[in-house]
Amino acid sequence: MSVNVRIAPSPTGLLHIGNIRAALFNYLFAKKHGGSFMLRLDDTDSTRSTQEFADAIKRDLTWLGLTWDNFARQSDRLARYSEVLEQLKLSGHVYPCYETQGELDLKRKTQLGRGLPPVYDRAALKLTDADRAAFDAQGLKPHWRFKLNHTDVSWDDLVQGRKTFPASSISDPVLVRGDGVPLYTFCSVVDDVDDKTTHIIRGEDHVTNTVVQIQIWQAVTALPLPAFAHFPLIVSASGIEMSKRLGTLSIASMRDDMQIEPMAINALLAKLGTSDPIAPRLTVAELATEFDLDKISSSTPKFDLEELKMLNAKILHLTPFASVRERLASMGLDAIDENFWNIARANITMLGDIHNWWKVAQGPVTPVIQDADFLSQAASALPPAPWNDNTWGAWTAQIKEKTGRKGKELFMPLRLALTAQEHGPEMKCLLPIIGEKRVRDLLAGKAA
């Protein structure tokens, strides 16, 4: 069986970590099994959906390397949804309702006040033809509900195992609003049928949707149901659910403001909440070979921004120069070569940190002077140019013999004078790049 999976974000806001985890799981599953990954925009709500957000969704997925094989907009399929609605009317699976939102809200409050679950009471089923004609005569447009079979709905979840849920505990879902706009629950099923979706991989907050959509699917087609997998939602380190409604960091902000690498996000989310350890990976293809729904834990995973930053650093430490050459050039650092990248990359957390070490190499640096007399003696022991990776060792050996200093007492004053930093790349590598003239100036306390 060919694997076909999809994600269906609404272009009503920016993608966040939770959205991307679902997209990544679907993408990795498709690639692991040689299948197809679809991006389908849930944009039937024209009042909230915008082209700006649609473009942002595409940009974020492309940046992450989660490119889609097929693309669709639900707003292009309104005629198809109308066709299926008529089919459901004829088969008696839907019924018209005329309650206003205010009336429905009042019903829910009354039920809750009586300690009852806020399930729709199916009052519209009691309307006579004359009642409906009277509403129509008043110009009221009905919304259409799907009539659920009040039986238990079961499926073998690929993450959670055998699931059974009583449909009687759920309100008959509205498929089409009074203004004619079809809703997600309905459109998603019609699309999945037409797109031959084989697996629906999404968060566990969709479990009740699955109960409803299984029954809608069976009313629409005789095709076999897709397989379902519901994974636990991630929460923040403080235990708050990651949601755009809570102002969670968007993928765009992580890219543009925080300079997070796309593979840091992918590598973290692919392993978060699984039995695999979180480790740096340089390609999505690597993650796909390792991905398995069986590895997803039932426990709630926590997303920690600091963990993402640490993983970001590890990925940069492994990244070859060829992968960053053009990005460095766009940052005005086209003079950086492979040698310098290999020297400095182990000391950066974000790519932009390379600016600091390039400044150390090229100047100007204001030296930190701890002991001017010691530095003067060090300067007098400097070997003549040209310098190489062995120069630092030979020089510090001469200083040690001359001053009797060793260890941190020897090396730290030199590092602070030459780089103004307590930590950084190996000095044996930096010394030849800084050059003899600048080294002498810096040892003398001059900015250079």
Question: How would DSSP label each residue in 302-322?
Answer: EE-HHHHHHHHHHHHHH--HH
> DSSP code of 404?
-
CA distance 28 to 291: 6
Q: Determine the Cα–Cα distance for residues 56 and 433; give it in Å rounded to an integer.
A: 42
Residue 162's H or E segment, with its range, is strand 161-166
Angle at Cα 85 formed by Cα 81 and Cα 87, nearest 5°? 120
> How many percent of the chain have pLDDT more than 70?
98
Under the banding of pLDDT at 50, 70 and 90, the label for residue 241 is low
Cα 118 to Cα 116: distance, rounded to the nearest angstrom:
6
Looking at residues 180-205, what average pLDDT do you find?
Answer: 97
Q: Strand 4-7: give its sheet, edge to edge.
A: 4-7, 36-41, 70-73
pLDDT at residue 242, as a whole number? 61
Average pLDDT over residues 311-334: 97
Question: Looking at residues 90-94, what average pLDDT do you find?
Answer: 98
Q: 332 by DSSP, 3-state: which?
A: coil
- Kindly indicate the confidence band of residue 237, based on its pLDDT and cuts at 50, 70 and 90: confident
Question: Whole-model pTM?
Answer: 0.92
Q: What is the pLDDT of residue 128?
A: 95
Mean predicted lDDT score pLDDT of the chain:
95
Higher per-residue pLDDT: 448 or 244: 448
Residue keyed to tokens 């399929």 = 77
d(CA 30, CA 285): 11
Report the pLDDT averaged over residues 410-438. Answer: 96
What whole-number distance in Å separates Cα of residue 167 and Cα of residue 155? 13
Is pLDDT above 50 for 223?
yes
